[in-house]
Structure 1
Amino acid sequence: MRCGAAAVMACVLLAACERGAPDANNTPRDGVAPRAGADAQPAAEAAAPAAPPAAALEDVVETAPTHVVGISYPKTISGEPGLAVELKRYADRQREELAKAVAGRGADAPPYDLTLSFSQVYESPQLIAVAADGSTYTGGDASRPLAARFVWLRDEDRLLTAADLVPDESNWTRIAEDVRSQLRTAYAQRIEADGMPAAERSAATREAAKRIERGTAAGATHFAMFEPVAGPGGRIGALRFVFPAAQLDTGLHGTHTVEVPADALRPLVAPQYRDLFAAPAG
């Protein structure tokens, strides 16, 4: 059963805690034209890369008879405008989807809602990582969970993707084997703790193993959501891979996570990113 609108908003509130550009004639807005002469650089060389437009990350609390929206952002990423743009783009996309659903909502339907909380989960001189978790309700019996991860390369001013990190597809096979083993063990422990009869456990575990294998097929696509875990010396001690329940389809609710240690990952990642990971002891 889904939470009521009041509970949704309470959760959100708890979680929250240029110089002028040239005009078309390449004349700056201060009215001073570029100096001509042999020592003047061509316009294409002299132009600095354009910074991403500033994104105002302001928490959102919106209530109406038809819908409820609660969005909270971290207060610690003001120095990363590119990352702020990515977070706001994701939130705006979820709001747009909610707005479309509200437009077709029946008059007797309960209020639709969107709850989204962004939190910083890792920071180093090279990286900053933000997790987005929440849910949205647009009809039916239950809310739909939301999850996203953003790992930002500070020096390169861009997102680090799973494909960037491990470009060799064959290396994903080794990562997938480790992840599947942990997921199968977690599933077996969970159904035992839930009291599933022993006679049913074997068949359920076999079926879950098949679904886990499909949901973690080797390749960057199935491991797109990850976040660094702090390790010694300010480096990454592990990567935490994040799998929404729908991706694994084992019948267990909630988002599932698996940590793969740095010593297993370091030989598999692209050479330029290996120094981000803690080296093996000794």
Structure 2
Amino acid sequence: MITDVQNALNTILGNVACLKNAKGAGRIFELFVMTGVAKAIKTGGYDVWLKRSDGSRIYPANTLRDFIQRGGGPAGIPAMASGASNASCIAFQKDGSKQVWEMWNGVQFEGRSKALHEFDVAVIPFETAEALRNWEGGRPRGRPRIAIECKDVATSGSIDEIRTLVARLYDVTILDCHAWHLGLTQPSLVIYPGILGSWHYSSASFYEENTRCCNVFARKTGFAKGAVAMTGYHLIRPYAFITSAGAQAATLFTEVADWINKKMI
């Protein structure tokens, strides 16, 4: 899978990127999914580029073309002041749109309960990431537009895995009715730091918020019987047997890229 990740990064950059990945098969699986989706977006005509942790763009002509995966445990968006040697991300923008998005690996989000929740791959507005970079770094409060859970394990996925993802999504979802007890100004936003815009206003129900977000569960192996029973109601997209040589991975990447093209400005 490292070869697939390297090839995807090279395609996005337009030159040979220097991949510095974290140790562990599970970590490279996360990058495999992340870069596979990003490559599919680029193939679909989006402008896609690699970014250093200080927010600067990595250009093909740069001498240093390091793409760094976060090591250690999950954390927030690193501060710009800490330099460019922390976790890299992938940015993308649709032709004709003013909205830029950033795709991150292993970022924690703060839920309504104040608990911290990691999403293996998450897409957030550029403005949210940039505000955190310009401060002291930190964790977004609220829900990402795209959340992908990745599991590189030999056993079949259990219903508890789905329950856990549902619980994370529940806690990070900010609805209109939450503004008063969270001390937020009304109408509340779906993610903080945020900007005022049609998508960034919070929804009236969890189901409505689920419909305008892309929630994915990607597994290297399959799901146990009954494990996907909850996915339809909560609008979680389950993908099994995601491997380097399998057609299922191409389906995952293409379908998420198609969702982005249809749903994201």
Larger Rg: 1
TM-score normalised according to structure 1 size:
0.30
Normalising by structure 2, what TM-score? 0.32
Tell which has more relative contact order, 1 or 2 (C-alpha 8 A, sep 6+). 2
